[in-house]
Structure 1
Amino acid sequence: TLTSGLDDYPRASHPSEEEHHLDLRCWLLLAANCMHSIAKFLGSKDNALK
C-alpha cells in the first residue's frame, strides 16, 4: 500500500471517525521511523528506542 493514500482512492463520501486521521497516522509513523533511523545512524543511544 502507498502511504499517500492514493491506492484506496476514491474514498467514501462520508468517512468514519477512524478514517479522518488515517493519512495523518501514516505520515506520523513514517516520520517517527525516519527519526529513529537518523538517531541510530548518529549513534545517539540515549534517544534511539531499542
Structure 2
Amino acid sequence: MPQMSPMWWTSLMMIFITIFVMNMSFTYFNYNKMINKKKTQIMTNYKWMW
C-alpha cells in the first residue's frame, strides 16, 4: 500500500510508539511496586534478635 499518504503511516507509527511506551512504563512501575511490596513485607515479617 505505498500509494497511501505518508501521514497515515506516520500516525500509525506514532500510535504504535505511544502504546509501546505506555505499556513499558506501566510494566516498569508495576514491577517496581511489586518489588517494594516484597521488600516491605520481608522487613515487617522479620523478627530482630537483639
TM-score (norm 1): 0.51
TM-score (norm 2): 0.51
Q: What is residue 24 of structure 2 aligned with on the other side?
A: 34
Q: What is residue 23 of structure 1 aligned with on the other side?
A: 13
Q: Please state which structure has a larger fraction of its residues in helix.
A: 2
| C-alpha RMSD over aligned residues | 2.4
Following TM superposition, the consecutive aligned residue runs of length 4 or more in structure 1 with deviations greater than 6 angstroms are none
Name the larger-Rg structure.
2
User: What count of residue pairs does the alignment treat as equivalent?
Assistant: 34
The higher-RCO structure (CA 8 Å, 6+ apart) is 1
- Structure 1: distance between partners of 2:6 and 2:27: 33
Task: State, as a whole percentage, how many aligned pairs show the same letter.
Answer: 6
Unpaired segments of 5 or more residues in structure 2?
35-50
